[in-house]
Structure 1
Amino acid sequence: MHQINQHARLIKQALMLAGFTVGLSGSVMAQQVKYTVGNNSWNADSLGNHRAVVSFNGNGKVARVIIPWRRRDEHPELKRIIIQDAQTKQKITNVKTGTLNREQGDIYFEPVSGKGNYYIYYLPAKSGGNPNYPQDAYLAPEQTADNSWLQVAAAPVKPNAMLKELEAIDTFNTFYPMEVIATAAEKQQLLLKHPGAGYMIFPEDRQFPVKMTDDLPQRWIQQGPSQAFAGQADKGEYYAFQLGVYARKDLKDIRLSFTDLKTADGKTIPAALLNCINTTGTTYDAQPFTASLQVGAGKIQSIWCGIDVPAAAVAGVYKGIVTIQPAGMPAMPVRITLTVTGKTAVNGGFNEPWKQTRLKWLNSTLAQDNAVIAPYTPLEMKDSVISLLGRKVGINKAGFPAQIQTFFTQEMTSLSANARNILTEPVHFHFVDAATGKDLNWDNKGWQVTAKDGGKISWKAINTTTGLQMEINASLEFDGFMDYTVKVTALDDVTLKDVALHLPMEKSAARYMMGLNQKGGVRPEQIDWKWDVKTKNQDGAWIGDVNAGLQFTLRDEHYVRPLNTNFYLQKPLQLPVSWGNGTKGGITVGEKGKAILVNSYSGERTIRRGEVLYFNFHLIITPFHTINTDFQWSTRFYHKYDNLDTIKATGATVVNIHHGNEINPWINYPFIEWKKMKDYIDGAHQKGLKVKIYNTVRELSNHAWETFPLRSLGHEVYSPGKGGGFSWLQEHVGKDYIAAWFVPEFKDAAIINSGMNRWHNYYVEGMNWLVQQVGIDGIYLDDVAFDRITMKRIKRVLTQDGHPGIIDLHSANQYNKSDGFINSAMLYMEHFPYLNRLWFGEYFDYEQNSPDFFLTEVSGIPFGLMGEMLQDGGNQWRGMVYGMTSRMPWSDNADPRPIWKVWDDFGMQGVKMIGYWVDNNPVKTSDPLVPATVYKKDGAVLVSLASWAKEDTGIKLNIDWKALGIDPAKAVITAPDIRNFQKGQVFAKDATIPVSKNKGWLLIIK
């Protein structure tokens, strides 16, 4: 409601600014066309979002009205006209049209009730397809008039009906004022009135974002071009305004420059505090951002500028100049007059986003420091070995890893003093001479540290061989992420049979694998993979064991993060020029000597003198940290906006607020109903509950106040696409976008984000604002589209000042055609160091996949995480082998509360989890298809076993009583009674325990 009222206020102001008289109801009581809103007084789903209200005062059976509707949509003649009697809402069938174009419509109809009002709906659409991915289609014209009436209507009739008003279904759908087009005659008159200039400037208030790029708005015809702008701002406010540019000729490389703003008595706002988001700024990874701004002839470009008014500024009138300079054309200065009030803006004005104050956030560097994030420890370097939490990396003379070690126990609950080697020999390249078939010998002069702090150590090395130079710039971060930029420059023409990177891994550290067309599980004996970026979002793999592994990915300097989650095919990977080498590159994985060799080859090629190739790669060392089992047992998510007392009664401890409800209605834009959200969170905290919210950047609600400023940035924030989707998008965004998730109840239509861009800076600032102003305890991520840089920044702002900063990640199974056949865990592994829990997820098959699939793709355990199950409630017996349940209240099929009760009754806090994958697990079964996991404490153990056998079976327990610390003579094996899980009973120590297909047991031994 707050946003609707705000829109109404803006519309009213727009009408008044245009010279109209506005009544209390928002209607216009004056000249020209009236623009009003209908307060949802008709069914937009069948009639569309717009109508003309027409008054007929004549006689006869034919009414004729000419509607100057000034439409921005193309081909009005191809869209249906629906007419209703305003009094009865009866549809009028006797209708015909004359000329229909974008400027006006000539319409005839039978006034069935005689004199009075009639409604003419001119954009009716029908929704089709998936309700959450609708494809609204505008209805084609239909012939419903009978011949007798058409004969009457054929006689000449002068217009005898009058347009009273053009009405939108609500304020959010109105076209007024920025989408009411100028007529061709008005445009021609404007051009004649202002001859000679290659472009015109239309300064525009921030309250009226420019929305059209192909049509001049009527508002600009009325106001005319100008080289002056005046505004008012509070002290400490970021004041945004627009310079609308209409190009008569092609404009290239538009640049802006600013002077100081000064008062008459010499007070100054320095030019450095003025900026243009379209041309300069700071990237998401803290690099300088510049963009070359072009405007084609006949096009319109909104240039958004901002004045960062100092909080210490003295009230007064400040004046200065912003100069627009297209390449090769005359510069045009615009005089800026800014009145700074004596009032200080609250929180920099960020609490009022409709003022576009948050555009400042696009260039934020918040949380870009490299501070170590808990539970990680600062990097330590001794000689050529770098130590980090649970891992060590030795660097050889060439600058590559000589050895990678982990120190995690198999149980993953603690660290060990004993090292586990991942490599059998150093990581290395092979450059094979085409003439001799032999490796080129490289001269390694050693490596030098280029930067060093607790969070990141960087180094460089230069290696040379006959005709080639290899320049290495590498780094290792505190979470185990290694980045290698390998620049190979040809000093002479060199012909090579192959260039290959070898990762020689210990066999015991290469037990499992996912990636390269492989679902997670036991590593196949041989992999032979080729690049296929058009259909496969694959550029590497994870290979490892539970407590030791590597993810590797291959890149070049042109890498751009692709789209994911249903949209990969619309923006796939770019084939690395180096690694792909046309169709010659690929990867093989298989046994070679003592190693499992990962051979990333690129094939034969000739590198010409001066040519440069980048053989870049990433390595991520897993696991990241020990698993936090106590967090798993005590932190219980309730994934629904609900009554707090209801939630508390379930035993849940954390509420996840999805989008699409009254306190978080708009996807990835939780800033409109934030006061309601804060009230809810405050109430939750009083009851001992924490609250997390849905918020990510894969797509962005059309309700975002910054929608059109972001559109002015071209494809930086929004991906190019074919458009379509929900009617609002088609009517207001127009074209060149990808329609994303839609919530019918709120008519919330999202647009796909383009990938890595400055919106991530806004996202970090927004998250900080939500922590500080609203009190969120963390976020729920749903198939994210940002990289680890943004994730680290998010974790920092979420956990600052002692906030819990809980993050859980949900993914729908990405291993399908639309997502490019990538494993969810593979896709998001770079984020795993900062997550508290996984929820994998929709379309994950918990019935037909192996225990190894559960372990690697679902559980998170090989990475130091634990998870929950989603699809159809999961398999609760199999889930408990990995410490997983379903999530409240997501599935009626698998209520987790009975298992939660077992946890509480047994006392899970402080238990040691010993999975079936641990060599010395003290409880094993007689059937390898019925694995057992032990949860051990003094004097008692909880044993979870589950069956992957094809039929019902029976098993016996093989128990190491000494390891359990339990006297077998006194031991009792009890299956507690668990609702919808198992019936209570007692088993003898040597009993054959029946296990139903796909089910299992929870047994307590004490």
Structure 2
Amino acid sequence: MRYIAIIIFFLFYSCSEGEQPKYSVSDTLWPENLGNHRAILEIDEPAEAVSLDILWRRHDRAPEQKRFIIIHESGDKVKNINRIHVDNERCHLTFGPVEKAGKYFFYYLPYDVQENYGFYNKGYLKPEEAPDQNWLGKTKKNENIKKARLQEFQSRSSFDSFYPMEVIALQSEKDSLLDIYKNDFLVFPEDRKYPIRMLDEIPQKWVLSGPSNQFEGEAHKNEYYALQLGVYAGQKDLSDLKVEFTSLKNGNVKIPASSLTCFNTGGTDPYGKPFTKRLDLEKGNVQPLWIGVDIPEDVQSGKYSGEITVLAENAAPQKINIQIKIGDVILADRGDNENWRHSRLRWLNSTLGIDEQPTKPYQPISVLGENEYGFTGKTMILGEKGFPASFDIKGTEILNGPVAFIVETGSGTENFTKPQNVQLLKNKPGVMQGAWESRSSNFKIEGVGTIESDGYINYKLKLKALKKVYLKDVRLEIPFRKDVANYMMGMGLPGISVPKKHEAKWEGPHDSFWMGNTDAGIWCELRGEGYSGPLLNLYRPEYPTSWFNENKGGFRIESNKNEMKAIVYSGSRGMEEGQELVFEWSMLLTPVKDINYKSQFTDRYYHNGGEPMPAEEDLKAGVKIVNLHHANQYNPHINYPFVAVDSMKWFVFKLHQKGQKVKIYYTIRELTNYTTEIWALRSLGNEILGDGRGGGYPWLREHLVSGYRPQWYQWFPDKSADASIVNAPGDSRWYNYYIEGLKWLVEKVDIDGLYLDDVSYDRRTVKRIRKVLDGTKPGCMIDLHSNTGFSKGPATQYAEYFPYLDKLWFGESFQYNKMSPENWLVEVSGIPYGLMGDMLQGGGNRWLGMLFGMTTRLPWSSDKIKADPRPVWKIWDEFQIQEAEMIGFWEDKPLVTTNDKSVKVTVYKNQGKVLLSIGNFSDSPKIISLNIDFDALGIKADNVKLTAPEIEDFQPEKTFKLNQKINIEARKGWLIIIQN
């Protein structure tokens, strides 16, 4: 009976709707402003008016609001178009006069082309002008209007095509389909070559084929085989969709059911924990179910059969018979080299890089004594309350007393017991974790403390009210030694000398702060139960309920003779008996590592987005590392470097031949529309792809249609633009895919690391990245860029990444000619954290940057500031600066000072000669004298020479006498060599 019903339906459909039109892709790209789609019409003879009535089956919104353009193949444009009926299903219109017979092109989605990059801010062209009234009057009188014949629908490129999965079924066809098939839901198996795209419509393809309980496919040995089941809720809402698998059998040989996975119903989160997802489906909508089959390499060839059962709480289950023919070929790469296979979907559930071992170069945590722990040059001693009482970094003590967690009621400060029921939850080389309880008369604390081998500490305290109580305040107090707390950032402040007093609230991304000096410091971040990464403009998580407390919480600094105390408070609130609040904070001890000065001065960067290949003269200047940005021919698509793999591989190979390393732009914040798996990711709801109002570049409006947020746009003259959409905030399995993808790129393309540009994942993911890079190809590097306009202080927001980074590029939007020396040191240089950086905005400031060992990157510059670093690099090489000891003006005992506090000196000391970098941080010219400690420099004051070598666009050659006054222009400086 089922087959008779299909035949009756198909006959009805064919008779009622006529022949099926052809869909094709143009051999050449027509002008982009005409849009990405057209209908090709044939007209037999000239006529005053021609009628067109076609079923165009469009999924995009409001087709009646776009302009129509009809052009003869000769280029002549039709003057008048009269719209009779236009909606998503049908287009009926008349047009004319038609002065020539032949082929006509009907463009129905023209838009404004934006030939740049950034954010697409244009759109579709408004509807054409109303037809001429005289012409319209003639057509109404003309009873013999000619008909245009539809030859085919055509897309500008294959990437733009709607066929076959976005050609909608008519409402009448859906009604007829559901009259025949009365099941609560219908299942449409699909090959991976045709990803299910529409979630609120079904394609005409399904109307023609009908639902099915059969799937047949062909696979190779060792392939990770992907297929789809499209579930259509035709009759009612469906609750809690699930799938069950049987083994796939070929005689006595079987592929176990455990080798089958449905990515839509669960998986493994970015931290290695399994999870399940509830799937509810509204009536009239489609839920694609992406299924993966892990086929062993040593499996026997043949046909393997089994069943997939689709279930819902409120519907009868349906069984789909699946048959996969496995051939003799062994697919060595699982299918990952061919995007269309979708084999990389298994990466979504990867646990690569998740372990509890230290990352390089950190040593395992050591237990030095009772409550004393060591981690790579740092020690921590816990006090009697379970909180740190001492942080020692290579002999420098940070704390002036124990860190305190204070709970205060109307009756005073709660007196908690010493930790009880202490449990050791983890005791691994890279991480140790313990739990305990403490009680007072009104509260119980359940605490978990974690330390990691790189100096990272986390506390998570659950505060439970034992009775109804008025809570006056909850505070975290960190008492710094005053001689250590020289600088700070965060708490609403830029990099600055620590003020005696300061108050701040939560406005802006002020969830963290750092305080200390270049020898020792603490970064601290306040968290709640839903922490999911740094605060960014695109991904700002909700403020933690506990600390924020409806903006009653905040920050303050208190100081006395010996102490600078940083206090985080939450303010007053009432708590009911049994109510719980979670107070969490993380700390990182700085510097996280020893600065690699040699790398800073020898591993010079070339970073040119559109033209990433450096010239020979750039390589001769000492460039050693090339950053391959996106939006060029070698890495065209943002955050998805799996399309132009061959060209990227060629680029990397050529530069490796020249002794260069290549790091690529590859991150997570947004994802290109060229992502092969974009439809599979969309089937996961908003787990990976973020929700939004839609809009943006026309491709997104025509294909994704709704439920997304447009982001970065890059126009290309020879193909459809790269138009990304924002990823969902918070953790997702895309992190797993991303990390597996990184390993694949290192192995297959031979890249040498990552260039990160404002990312949202937290340190756990960066730690995985570091481990994967070190384990796959030792020597890989990670370089982080950020924009102070986004994060209001990227060094604060990204401090938790610092143990795993090699280089910083915190420069975009920084105003180098306005910043204080403290701002330079703390927010830009990276030096207090054991890192170094480069300048960016406007080419930086060449004179002041040298005090921090920074130049810009080739070929970054601006029209106003000549920023070519090569003249400075030449001096570096002549002086052999990579062998020198860098002694900054920020040290306790700087070796050279000036008589003006706004003029600073950094010393580079190198075997009998010294390079002085002198910088004037004021807006006025200065005349200064130098105070030089010759004994400390190891240079005799007698017969000493002070020479400023000529540096192009930096300084003229000049010789100074020992006690000579030196003129320095505002915001400029000198490089002076001292030697006997």
2:723 aligned with 1:749: yes
Pair 1:696 & 2:683 matched: no
Segment drifting more, 632-641 vs 142-151: 142-151
CA distance in 2, matches of 1:236, 1:201: 28
Confirm whether residue 850 of structure 1 aligns to residue 824 of structure 2. no
Deviation at 1:811, TM superposition (A): 1.1
The CA deviation at 1:388 is 1.0
Q: Percent identity?
A: 40
CA contact (8 A) 1:537 1:573 kept: no
Deviations 1:92-147 (A, max 9, x none): 22211110111110121114332111111111122579842013422222225322
1:429 match: 405
Q: Provide the C-alpha distance between the structure 2 equivalents of 1:398 and 1:292, rounded to a whole number of angstroms.
A: 42
Q: Which residue of 1 aligns with 2:6?
A: none
Residue 553, structure 1, aligned to residue 525, structure 2: yes
Find out whether 1:257 has 2:232 as its counterpart: no
| Equivalent position SS for 1:826 | helix
1:957 to 907, 930, 934: 930
Q: Hey, what's the Cα distance between the residues in 1 that align with 2:692 and 2:577?
A: 40
Aligned residue identity for 1:34 = K
Shift of 1:949: 2.2
Cα separation, 1, equivalents of 2:24 and 2:535: 40
Match of 2:365 among 358, 379, 395: 379
Contact 2:535 2:797 (8 Å CA) reproduced: no
Out of 989, 996, 1004, the position equivalent to 2:962 is: 989
CA contact (8 A) 2:602 2:622 kept: no
Task: Please give the per-residue CA displacement for 1:713-745, whole angstroms capped at 9, x wherever unaligned.
Answer: 111111111111111111111111111111112
Structure 1 residue 442: Cα displacement = 3.2
Over 3 Å counting, the alpha-carbon distance change for 1:547 and 1:563 in structure 2 is closer
Q: In the aligned structure 2, how far is the partner of 1:422 from the partner of 1:619?
A: 13
1:321 equivalent to 2:294? Answer no
Which of 661, 664, 676 lines up with 2:635 in the alignment?
A: 664
Letter in 2 for 1:426: P
Partners in 1 of 2:107 and 2:626 — Cα distance?
Answer: 44
Equivalent in the alignment of 2:5: none
Say which SS state the counterpart of residue 867 (structure 1) adopts. coil
* Native 8 Å contact 2:509 2:535 kept in 1: no
User: What are the superposed Cα offsets for residues 617-663 of structure 1, whole Å, 9 maximum, x if unpaired?
Assistant: 11111110111110011101111311564542342111111111111
Aligned-pair CA distance for 1:776: 0.5
Question: Which amino acid letter does the alignment assign opposite residue 37 of structure 1?
Answer: V
CA contact (8 A) 1:923 1:960 kept: yes
Residue equivalent to 2:810: 840
Deviation (angstroms), 1:433:
2.4
User: 1:423 touches 1:504 (CA, 8 Å); kept in 2?
Assistant: yes
Candidates 555, 566, 576, aligned match of 1:598 = 566
1:274 aligns to what?
A: 260
**Offset of residue 91 of structure 1:** 2.2
Is the partner of 1:348 in helix, strand or coil? coil
Measure, in 1, the Cα distance between the counterparts of 2:46 and 2:550.
75
Q: 1:611 aligns with which of 559, 563, 579?
A: 579
- Distance change (3 Å), C-alpha of 1:96 and 1:563: farther
- What code does the residue aligned with 1:649 have? K
> 1:893-904 alignment to 2 at 5 Å?
893-904=866-877
* Structure 2 residue aligned with 1:411: none
Which deviates more, 235-244 or 493-502? Answer: 493-502
8 Å contact kept, 2:23–2:153: yes
Residues 1:83 and 2:57 aligned together? no
Q: Is the 8 A contact 2:689 2:708 kept in 1?
A: yes
Secondary structure in structure 1 of the residue aligned to 2:724: strand
Aligned residues of 1:93 and 1:144 also touching (Cα < 8 A): no
Give CA-to-partner distance per residue, 1:961-982, whole Å, 9 cap, x none. 1001111103111101111110
Of the structure 1 ranges 503-512 and 759-768, higher mean CA displacement relative to structure 2 is found in 503-512
AA at the equivalent of 1:858? V
Q: Which residue of 2 aligns with 1:10?
A: none
Give the aligned residue type for 2:582: Y
What TM-score results when the alignment is normalised by the length of structure 2?
0.95
Work out the CA distance in 1 between the residues paired with 2:49 and 2:167: 29
Q: What is the distance in 1 between the residues matched to 2:498 and 2:682?
A: 46
8 Å Cα contact 1:246-1:300 kept in structure 2: yes
Higher mean C-alpha displacement, 837-846 vs 121-130: 121-130
- Are residues 1:909 and 2:890 paired? no
**Contact 1:529-1:588 at 8 Å conserved across structures:** yes
Distance (Å, rounded) in 2 between the aligned partners of 1:878 and 1:983? 17
- Measured on the aligned residues, the alpha-carbon RMSD in Å equals 1.9
SS of 1:795's partner is helix
Contact 1:353 1:705 in 2 (8 A): yes
Deviates more, 1:176-185 or 1:583-592: 583-592
Matched, 1:525 2:500: yes
Q: Report if aligned partners of 1:560, 1:574 keep a CA contact under 8 Å in 2.
A: no
Q: Specify the alignment match of 2:391 in structure 1.
A: 404
Task: Tell which deviates more after alignment, 311-320 or 515-524.
Answer: 515-524
**Partners of 1:40 and 1:485 in 2: how far apart?**
61
What does residue 320 of structure 2 align with?
A: 334
CA displacement, residues 944-1001 of structure 1 (integer Å, 9 cap, x when unaligned): 0110122111111111110011111031111011111100111011000111111100
Contact 2:743 2:776 in 1 (8 A): no
Contact 2:431 2:450 in 1 (8 A): yes
Contact map agreement 2:652 2:751 (CA 8 A) in 1: yes
Q: Is the 8 A contact 1:655 1:692 kept in 2?
A: yes
Q: Distance in 1 between matches of 2:733 and 2:415?
A: 43
Paired amino acid for 1:787: D
2:859 is aligned with what amino acid?
P
Pair 1:296-2:271 in alignment: no
Q: Which amino acid aligns with 2:640?
A: Y
Q: In the alignment, which residue of structure 2 is the partner of 1:56?
A: 43
Aligned to 1:576: 544
Correspondence for 1:211 = 197
Pair 1:428–1:643, CA change in 2 (3 A): closer
Provide the residue aligned with 1:825 in structure 2: 795
Letter in 1 for 2:60: D
Secondary structure at the counterpart of residue 881 of structure 2: coil
Residue deviations 1:417-443 (CA, integer Å, cap 9, x gap): xx2221111112211122x23433434
**Partners in 2 of 1:935 and 1:236 — Cα distance?**
58
Cα 1:253–1:542 shift into 2, 3 Å:
same
Q: Aligned-pair distance for 1:520?
A: 1.4
Whether the 8 Å contact between 1:397 and 1:445 is mirrored in structure 2 is: no
For 2:45 and 2:300, the matched residues in 1 are separated by 63
The match for 2:218 is 232
The CA distance in 2 between the partners of 1:223 and 1:158, in whole Å, is 37
Residue type at the aligned position of 1:883: G
Structure 1 residue 77 displacement after superposition: 1.7
How far did residue 833 of structure 1 move?
1.3
SS of the aligned residue for 1:318 comes to strand
SS of 2:883's partner is coil
Structure 1 residue 379 displacement after superposition: 1.2
Q: Normalised by the size of structure 1, how large is the TM-score?
A: 0.92
Q: Is residue 457 from structure 1 mapped to residue 444 from structure 2 by the alignment? A: no
Q: Is the 8 A contact 1:58 1:161 kept in 2?
A: no
Equivalent residues of 2:49, 2:98 under 8 A apart:
no
Mind listing any 5+ residue stretches in structure 2 that lack a counterpart? Answer: 1-9, 12-17
CA offsets, 1:884-933, max 9 Å, x none?
Answer: 00100122521111111101101112211000001211111111111000
Is this contact kept in 2: 1:255–1:326, CA < 8 A?
yes
Counterpart of 1:540, as a letter, is S
- Kindly indicate whether the alpha-carbon contact (under 8 Å) linking 1:399 and 1:472 is maintained by their aligned counterparts in 2: no
* Alpha carbons 1:433, 1:440 under 8 Å: kept: no
Instruction: Quote the offset at 1:592 in angstroms.
Output: 4.9
Determine if contact 2:534/2:762 at 8 Å carries over to the other structure. Answer: no
Q: Structure 1: where are the runs of 5+ without partners? A: 1-17, 20-29, 408-418
Residues 963 and 779 (structure 1), Cα distance of their counterparts in 2 relative to 1, 3 Å cut:
same
2:738 is matched with which residue? 763
Counterpart-to-counterpart distance in 1, 2:723 and 2:535: 18
